[in-house]
Structure 1
């Protein structure tokens, strides 16, 4: 089942990347004036066919991620979803006709190798499909406190550290969204009624939308290079922790903890270099919204 989970997570990451590139392409074609970048520039995008294709692809990504979480550990799915950056580079290079330089290609290989090495060394094992009663409350309270503190501190910082701190808060939000999604999907085995009446089902939408909004604040706070390490490492690490705390998933540590740390460092360094690529950051003539 883990192989199926990895395949679905990769498809979800690819769909996420395609959505990002398509919506950025639509924004570039509209070429909104800088002075009009308020609500007026958004309305034409909502009617733009390319933007709508991007929105539909984003829905497809959510379906793939849900399938991945239903068939595999949270500690596998979320780290694999970080390959969105790799797919953004590939898809963006084709759409915007921008050839990656040698440094970007090395960063691509480093990120892929770091992720593969971490998953191979950690060997995450499947736990329960749902969270036992009583575990969500202390986790949710702890997460709320940490996110609130990060936001309060981050908003007082200058650009680069602000983006890093807010990126950490965003990563926590996305990790919790994935955990809630996995818990909600696991309840389908008990019947559609249980799924529709579970609070986790609706918490996915609330936490997911809040995390998406926080991501927009993060991206406007500073460069992608400043926020990407926190987004990549934070989501991957917290998902491993939540998988163990909530779903009883197990990862191999012991003597492997040092090479696992090295693999994560390679993954983050690769993501930082990829974030510098104009294709990923949206600075080769087109702008992210």
Structure 2
């Protein structure tokens, strides 16, 4: 129960961060794409710094969630980050959400409930046997190289979607490394054992890389293009890490059919929600969001 609570808090923080960062990144010209100078320009914007603050809050909540629950349970819950953020934004802006947005919220929520109920993720170990990380890291590096290379050959929303997927893979790896690092606190003496683990530093590197890719995804195109790839990619790749690295299990067989239906529901809901002006980080006219 603790892991679910902190996963929900993480989702709300991450969703708020994405909206704030999108608002900042959209003001940066295309000439800054895939350059470190992009981060330099964003650092001068208070709205982007506020988004980073929410990222830090999310990281703390995520660490608690992963320390108390399986990665295949915690990470998929993050798909609610966009619905939660839109509902909060609508409350703050005193606007009424239209029917398509509510349908999007319902689609994501029902999709998550259906997927989690059918997959029934659980089990597994708290830590990863050291050598098991080698093929996982090689496969991740190869996947990232292919996706980023593909993205660099495109423009606009296609690039945003591909970079969103690359960022999702980075965030999923960050979660897996974080879970492995935090779990070692239970096996060692005090916090020193945490700082002695390479997984902690791997978490920092993977997280920074994922953040860089996300900024470029948000700068390249619309949130409607990047957000579904980011949301679903993070959940599905995290589940893959959970199964292959931590030995967690999911239902298979005929259960795969409703699980695929759940993925389709979540994808459709995220796409609809990401089209909202609130998701783009802009304040809509009073009264209603279209």
Change (3 A) 1:274 1:33: closer
Offset, 1:283:
4.1
221-230 or 207-216: bigger deviation: 221-230
Question: What secondary structure is seen at the aligned counterpart in 1 of 2:121?
Answer: coil
Counterpart CA distance in 2 for 1:21 and 1:267 is: 19
Offset, 1:40:
6.6
| CA RMSD of superposed structures (Å) | 2.5
Counterpart CA distance in 2 for 1:33 and 1:234 is: 25
Counterpart CA distance in 1 for 2:132 and 2:95 is: 48
8 Å CA contact retained: 1:107, 1:271: yes
8 Å CA contact retained: 2:10, 2:62: yes
TM-score between both structures, scaled by the size of structure 1: 0.87
Change (3 A) 1:262 1:271: same
Does residue 13 (structure 1) correspond to residue 14 (structure 2)? The answer is no
User: Which residue in the other structure is 1:198 paired with?
Assistant: 197
Does residue 120 (structure 1) correspond to residue 121 (structure 2)? The answer is no
Change (3 A) 1:265 1:11: same
What CA deviation, in whole Å up to 9, does each residue of 1:46-97 have, x standing for no partner? xxxx876654443222111111101111111111012110111012112333
Offset, 1:41:
7.3
Offset, 1:251:
0.6
Does residue 43 (structure 1) correspond to residue 44 (structure 2)? The answer is yes
User: Which residue in the other structure is 2:266 paired with?
Assistant: 267
User: Which residue in the other structure is 2:101 paired with?
Assistant: 104
User: Which residue in the other structure is 2:175 paired with?
Assistant: 178
Offset, 1:160:
2.0
Offset, 1:141:
0.8
Does residue 83 (structure 1) correspond to residue 76 (structure 2)? The answer is no
Change (3 A) 1:212 1:194: same
TM-score between both structures, scaled by the size of structure 2: 0.86
Counterpart CA distance in 2 for 1:185 and 1:175 is: 15
User: Which residue in the other structure is 2:2 paired with?
Assistant: 4
User: Which residue in the other structure is 1:131 paired with?
Assistant: 128
Unaligned runs of 5+ in 2: 33-37, 286-290
8 Å CA contact retained: 1:126, 1:250: yes
Does residue 70 (structure 1) correspond to residue 67 (structure 2)? The answer is yes
Question: What secondary structure is seen at the aligned counterpart in 1 of 2:110?
Answer: helix
Does residue 221 (structure 1) correspond to residue 196 (structure 2)? The answer is no
Count of equivalent residues? 274
Offset, 1:282:
2.1
Counterpart CA distance in 1 for 2:97 and 2:70 is: 33
Counterpart CA distance in 1 for 2:45 and 2:262 is: 44
Change (3 A) 1:100 1:197: same
User: Which residue in the other structure is 1:278 paired with?
Assistant: 277
